[in-house]
Chain A
């Protein structure tokens, strides 16, 4: 009896903004605790397989040269693969799950009936994505280190940069997902934005190899900025002003995406 009373009292309190965001995250965590295996395949096994097949396998055909910064191909690839993986995870976690939380499971609608605000839901969602990326990338870095595909501890700075790069995609995509009524456009997003970006924006080979007219498109992608930063952090030799520019671009995209997401969440949840 007292237990029930305590619980009711606990629910009657309006949580502060940080506590509210954590409550939203706790919802994701409760689900994830039971279902982590399915995402382990796409967020850890897949990048490790890419590292093996393209880093070691394809890399065996590549002579270290100016294009790879004088490094063996697999060492050259690892920091960039961190960013590409972060972008993949962010893109996935901010599309179907976000739309589903409005439409199929509708837990955002349920949360909005509590004192938790739209801004706090967005904060919880984005923090959760960042946690997912960080944990997956830590496992990936550990595996890569065991395989000898890492130049040194500076790869952990690359990891932080990779998470920022992922958030620079995740926030705008979250905003976009909040405006959709059906999941149809996601296929196009993955096929025409995420996939070409992963293949062409500097992960597997320098952007300088692209035809001149595609390069500006690659420069627009957060993946390219993240990749430049991640390689700079791991190997050194990045101009501080350039680093600042890349960081600024990623932070600006994230801020813009988050602001739009709050706006669209608020509009949709008010309906």
Chain B
């Protein structure tokens, strides 16, 4: 009974889940009602009429892939792939584009869209007057971004399959890997959004994404760089995402893939904790 009272005092519904587990001890209480799915449902309803715009997002990496296949690939010839054997330029770039599109989609969703909703739409103020808390908001929005990202990844994978770029059964794992990468970027992106003051700050997002997209071995191998710069490039999260994707799509999988994935696990954890705390400060004032 006292527990229920505490739950009500903390803003949770009486019958809702009680705070327990490590995550909830790290985070302030009264922020999570376990109903993030309601926010996903809202996103589905809102996007019901604009599904064409959502689906068309899939075309962007496709244009890149076509350009790589018909143009860049014929100029460049074959490269050295992950296992040391020659690989066609398209097969080299395709997995990298998938990782980059997972990054771009996740970051844009988690920055522009969320910022708009916090600052102009103010939908979270309405959301928080219901039993949902800031963590529901964080999880719900990231889940929606991942649903979209997963849709794009499946489409991209289908095109890779159609272009004959898939040569190993490991490649089936590129779709979950894309979601994992997107999750890391979405969490960090959302954390950054909570610090943004105005639209001008989004140039910084652009300034972070653009070099990462261009220089994380997306379009040419790491060996092109001098050793000092190679180290810098290896610090980029997208570099690790691309390594994972390339390993999976060529079937050259070894233990190092776990290290690359751990990078994203840390990103996701840091991003989630920071954004839940900051969202609490921003929204529950």
Could you list which residues of chain A lie within 8 angstroms of chain B, going by C-beta atoms?
35, 37-38, 41-42, 45-46, 49-50, 52-54, 57-58, 60-63, 67-68, 73, 184, 187-188, 191-192, 195-196, 199-200, 204-205, 209-211
CB distance from B232 to the nearest CB of A (A): 14
CB under 8 Å from chain A, chain B span 48-98? 53, 56-57, 59-60, 63-64, 66-67, 70-72, 74-77, 79, 89
A200 B214 Cβ-Cβ under 8 A:
no
Q: Is the CB of A73 within 8 A of B59?
A: no
Q: Give every chain A residue within 8 A of B130 (Cβ-Cβ).
A: none
Given contacts A54-B214, A188-B56, 18 further A-B contacts (CB under 8 A): A37-B200, A38-B200, A42-B206, A49-B211, A53-B220, A57-B214, A57-B224, A61-B224, A67-B74, A68-B75, A187-B53, A191-B57, A192-B56, A199-B67, A204-B71, A205-B67, A205-B75, A210-B70
Q: Chain B contacts of A195 at CB under 8 A?
A: 60, 63
Which residues of chain B are near A63, meaning CB under 8 Å? 77
| Chain A residue at minimum C-beta to C-beta distance from B213 | A53
The 29 sampled A-B contact pairs (Cβ below 8 Å) are: A38-B203, A41-B203, A42-B206, A46-B206, A46-B210, A49-B215, A53-B214, A53-B215, A53-B220, A57-B214, A57-B219, A57-B220, A58-B219, A61-B79, A62-B76, A67-B74, A68-B75, A187-B53, A191-B56, A191-B57, A192-B59, A196-B63, A200-B63, A200-B66, A204-B72, A205-B72, A205-B75, A209-B74, A211-B70
**Which A residue's beta carbon lies closest to that of B89?**
A61
Taking a contact as CB atoms under 8 Å apart, the answer to whether B63 and A199 are in contact is: yes
Complexed CA–CA distance, A17 and B148 (Å): 51
Task: Please tell me if B228 contacts chain A, counting CB pairs below 8 Å.
Answer: no
For A57, list chain B residues within 8 Å (CB): 214-215, 219-220, 224
Minimal Cβ-Cβ distance residue in B for A40: B203
Interface of chain A: mostly helix, strand, loop or mixed: helix
In the complex, which range does the number of interface residues on chain B fall in? 20 to 34
Within the assembled complex, what's the spacing in Å between the Cα atoms of A114 and B64? 47
Q: Mark B205-243, 1 if CB is under 8 A from A, else 0.
A: 011001100110001100010000000000000000000
Asked if B70 and A37 make an inter-chain contact with CB atoms under 8 angstroms apart, the answer reads no
Q: Which B residues are within 8 Å of any A CB, using their own CB? A: 53, 56-57, 59-60, 63-64, 66-67, 70-72, 74-77, 79, 89, 200, 203, 206-207, 210-211, 214-215, 219-220, 224
Q: Which residue of A lies closest to B65 (CB)?
A: A199
Residue numbers in A under 8 Å from B89 (CB-CB) = 61
Q: Are B211 and A61 in contact, with the CB atoms below 8 A?
A: no
In the complex the two chains form, what is the Cα distance from A73 to B70 in whole Å?
17
Q: For A211, give the chain B residue with the smallest CB separation.
A: B70
Question: Which A residues are in CB contact (< 8 Å) with B64?
Answer: 199
Whole-angstrom CA separation of A135 from B98 in the bound complex: 35
Which A residues are in CB contact (< 8 Å) with B214?
49-50, 52-54, 57
Residue of A nearest to B71 (CB): A205
Contacts of A54 in B (CB 8 A): 214, 219
A54 vs B53: C-alpha distance in the bound complex, in angstroms?
29
B120 to chain A, nearest CB (A): 12
Contacts of B60 in A (CB 8 A): 191, 195
Question: Separation in Å of the B71 CB from the closest CB of chain A?
Answer: 3
Complex: chain B residue closest to A57, CB-CB: B220
Chain A residue with the shortest CB-CB distance to B225: A57
- In the complex the two chains form, is B207's CB within 8 Å of A41's CB? yes
Q: Are B72 and A58 in contact (CB under 8 A)?
A: yes
Chain B residue at smallest Cβ distance from A58: B219
Chain B hits for A199, CB < 8 A: 63-64, 66-67
- Taking CB as reference atom, which chain B residue is nearest A196? B63
The distance in angstroms between the C-alpha atoms of A84 and B70, with both chains bound, is 19
A50 to B59, CA, bound (A): 21
Which residues of B lie under 8 Å from residue A192 when comparing CB positions? 56, 59
**Contact of A58 with B63 at beta-carbon distance under 8 Å, contacts A53-B214, A191-B56 already known:** no
List of A residues within 8 angstroms of B76 by Cβ? 58, 61-62
Contact of B70 among A45, A188, A209 (CB under 8 A): A209
Instruction: Tell me the minimal C-beta distance from B152 to chain A in angstroms.
Output: 13
- A187 contacts across to B, CB distance below 8 A: 53, 56
Partner of A200, one of B57, B67, B211, B224: B67
Across-interface contacts of B219 in A (CB, < 8 A): 53-54, 57-58
Q: Which residues of B contact A205 (CB under 8 A)?
A: 67, 71-72, 74-75
Q: Which residues of B contact A35 (CB under 8 A)?
A: 200
- The interface residues of chain A lying within 8 Å CB-to-CB of B59 are 191-192
B192 to chain A, nearest CB (A): 16
